[in-house]
Amino acid sequence: MAFATAITTSRTTATLVLWIGRGLEGLWLLLVFLVPLTFIDRDYAVSEAVISYLEVPKIALLRTLAGLMTTLWIIEWAIQGQLPDWSKFKGRWTVSRLSGGRTELSRWLRDRPTRWLVFAVWLFLGTTFLSTVLSGSFKTSVWGEIPGQDGYAAYTVASYLVIFGVIATHLKTRPQLWRLLGAIIAMGTLVAGYAVLQHYSYDFLDLTEQTGGGQKRVTSFMGNAIFAAAVMSMTIPISLGVAAASLREPKWLSRRFRTNAGTWALSLTVTGLWSLILAVQLLGITFTFSRGPWVGTLAAVVSFFGLGVIFLGWRLCGRAVLVLGLAAVMAVGFLQAMGSVSILIQGPWFGAVIAFAGVIGAGVILTNWRSLGWVGLLAGIIVALAAAVVLAPGWIKGDDASGEPPAGFSDTRNTIGQVSGRFASINTEVLDGFIGGRGTHWRVSWQLMRERPWFEFDNLSFRWLRPLIGYGPDLFRYTYLLESPPEGKEQYPLEPDHAHNYFIHQTVEQGYLGLLSSLGIFAAVFILGGYQLFRQRGSYSDAHKLIAMTPVR
């Protein structure tokens, strides 16, 4: 009887753990998909930031989902009997026990090198906790300068770390991985798709913001052109990698369709769909007119193909290049149809001809992939380069050298001129940005790191420790005002809420310990990705190599 009861209890526990795991996966999929897309009506709430109607609901949803994950995770620990027994910690803080703990930690890290990333995250959590407890303003560091908005408050950082912990401990199967990547790609496609609609004045949700660079630059669901472009710069390489993984030699197609025609048709359909997804994302990031994300995306794609040829072989990379080339053809065809470019023949119908010709070319190459695979690789490269040539100013109807539209010319038709103008300004405006705004923020930040000033009406506790622990999370703007230089005709002091460099910002708020812990996370990601690719690639599948290539990019 007792044995039967034990079996029933074990089955009940296993069932509960299974459903909790499914609930956690559902929560992280909702988070990845919904948080970037969430917004409320402009007039529903008033806050300090102009884009609060976009920012506040995103942060609220992220924290809510992180809280639900924490609850389910604790319940799972309780069911499995894994809750920590705090009574066992008594008497552990002796020299011999600490020495044994170091030995155990060293063994734990050697057993599985990927644990170095977990260790780096724990260090980051520890430095954040220390800096918060000893903060110059404890309340601000815990909840944030403005609690409902985005920032570096300990509450928000803890939410991110909970999400990391849940995914790192519960994402164990390949289907889970594909669902996560699918949610990221779907989100990125929607963000980019709405950016395209905004560019052509179909902003039916009224989300375009002047703070994102003006009406000519799309902001999608982010309220800022650079934020929107940053999201797409992350999803484009992921989309390309997943497309490459799904377009391997299609053995599953042969099992599903007995005829070569059926296999070819489905293979072309899959290639076309991936190309369409990439075309939407490429157009979306183009219309943000953000130089940094453009350069980052280009570097990611180039490194993807460089690493892919080395670790995956030219055939798999050839299919990825074919998808990217067809995506470029579709994007150019769309621009032609919308009147943003003129190629050989004027008229929107010629855009459809361009896209159709690209699909036919891809179909011909897929028909004899084993013999013409290298042709697909070469053709994709040529088409991608040709699409880049289309961005030259000479193709623009009526644009001047500055990329500005002539009088009476529709802004939405000036796409290529603005792209060319933004690239041409890299040597001047970006340098001016370093000399001006960013350079000023960095100089002031260095003064804060070196001198650690504080308000005259208050005493800064642990002043001698501030170089190591900083002022505390989310105190950058307050402390910046202590050394802020005047700006403009009114000579008002600058009041940035960020140093425009993550590591400098982290050093001001969390000191050199926070800087080292942040660098540790980045180093762990890149080193572990390189280690898996260069030292252990023989034991991993192509899909795993594609994922390992992501941090290296």
Task: Establish if 107 belongs to a structural domain.
Answer: no
Q: Which amino acid is at 73?
A: W
Task: Establish if 116 belongs to a structural domain.
Answer: no
Nearest to 297, CA basis, from 327, 257, 262? 327
Residues 51/207, Cβ–Cβ less than 8 Å = no
Q: Looking at residue 67, what is its pLDDT? A: 94
Residues 127/513, Cβ–Cβ less than 8 Å = yes
Q: Which domain holds residue 315?
A: 205-432
Nearest to 179, CA basis, from 73, 26, 72? 26
Both tokens assigned to 247: 């377009």
Q: How many domains does the chain have?
A: 1
Q: Say how far residue 441 (Cα) sits from the centre of its chain.
A: 24
Alpha-carbon Rg for the chain in angstroms = 27
Residues in the chain: 553
Task: Establish if 22 belongs to a structural domain.
Answer: no
Task: Establish if 414 belongs to a structural domain.
Answer: yes
Sign of CA dihedral 144, 146, 148, 152: negative
Task: Establish if 302 belongs to a structural domain.
Answer: yes
Residues 348/410, Cβ–Cβ less than 8 Å = no
Q: Average pLDDT for consecutive 10-residue bins of the chain (553 residues)?
A: 60 85 94 93 77 88 94 90 60 52 66 79 93 92 85 91 92 89 94 92 84 71 88 90 72 49 74 91 89 83 79 73 85 82 66 76 66 54 54 37 37 51 50 60 89 86 89 90 79 80 92 93 83 69 67 48
Residue pointed to by tokens 């000036």: 414
Task: Establish if 428 belongs to a structural domain.
Answer: yes
Task: Establish if 97 belongs to a structural domain.
Answer: no
CA distance 223 to 51: 6
Task: Establish if 279 belongs to a structural domain.
Answer: yes
Three-class secondary structure of residue 256 per DSSP: helix
Q: How far is CA 195 from CA 151, 207, 309, 419, in A?
A: 25, 10, 33, 15
Q: How far is CA 64 from CA 17, 28, 57, 405, in A?
A: 21, 11, 10, 46
Q: Looking at residue 358, what is its pLDDT? A: 77
